Amino acid sequence: MKGVSRWAGLGALAVFLAVLPQALPNNYYVDIAVLAGFNAIICVGLNLLIGYAGQISLGHAGFFGLGAYCSAVLVTHHGWPPVLALLAGAILVGLIAFAIARPILKLKGHYLAMATLGIGIIISIVINTEAGITGGPDGIAAGPFTLGGFTLQGERDWYWVVAGLLLLTIWLATNLVDSPVGRALRALHGSEVGAEVVGVDTTRYKVMVFVVSAVIASVAGSLFAHYVPQLTPTKADFFKSIELVTMVVFGGMASTFGALVGAAFLTTLPQFLTVFEDYEPIILGGIMMGTMIFMPRGLVPTIAAFIQRRRS
How many CB atoms are located within 10 Å of the residue 116 CB?
Answer: 27
Q: Pick the closer one to another protein by CB: 47 or 222.
A: 47
Work out how close the CB of 281 gets to another protein at its nearest, in angstroms, rounded to a whole number: 3
CA–CA dist 210, 49 (Å, integer): 6
Give the contact letters, 32-71, x = binds to another protein (CB under 8 A), - = no: ------------------x---x-x-x-------------
Shortest distance (Å) from residue 101 CB to another protein: 11
Interatomic CA distance for residues 27 and 259, integer angstroms: 25
Using CB under 8 A, pick the residue from 15, 84, 273, 289 that binds another protein.
Answer: 289
Q: What is the C-alpha radius of gyration for the chain, rounded to an integer number of angstroms?
A: 19
3-state secondary structure of 147: strand
Please state, in angstroms and rounded to a whole number, the distance separating the CA atoms of residues 239 and 61.
Answer: 8
Q: Which amino acid is at 15?
A: V
Q: H-helix or E-strand containing 150? A: strand 150-151
**For residues 267 and 48, what is the distance between their CA atoms, to the nearest angstrom?**
20
Nearest approach, Cβ of residue 256 and another protein (Å):
18
Q: Mask of contacts with another protein, 235-264, x by CB under 8 A? A: ---xx--x--xx--x---------------
Q: Report 73-112 residues binding another protein (CB under 8 A).
A: 100, 103-104, 106-111
In single-letter form, the type of residue at position 77 comes to: H
Q: Which residues bind another protein (CB under 8 A)?
A: 50, 54, 56, 58, 100, 103-104, 106-111, 113-115, 117-119, 121-122, 125-126, 128-129, 191-194, 238-239, 242, 245-246, 249, 278-289, 292-293, 296
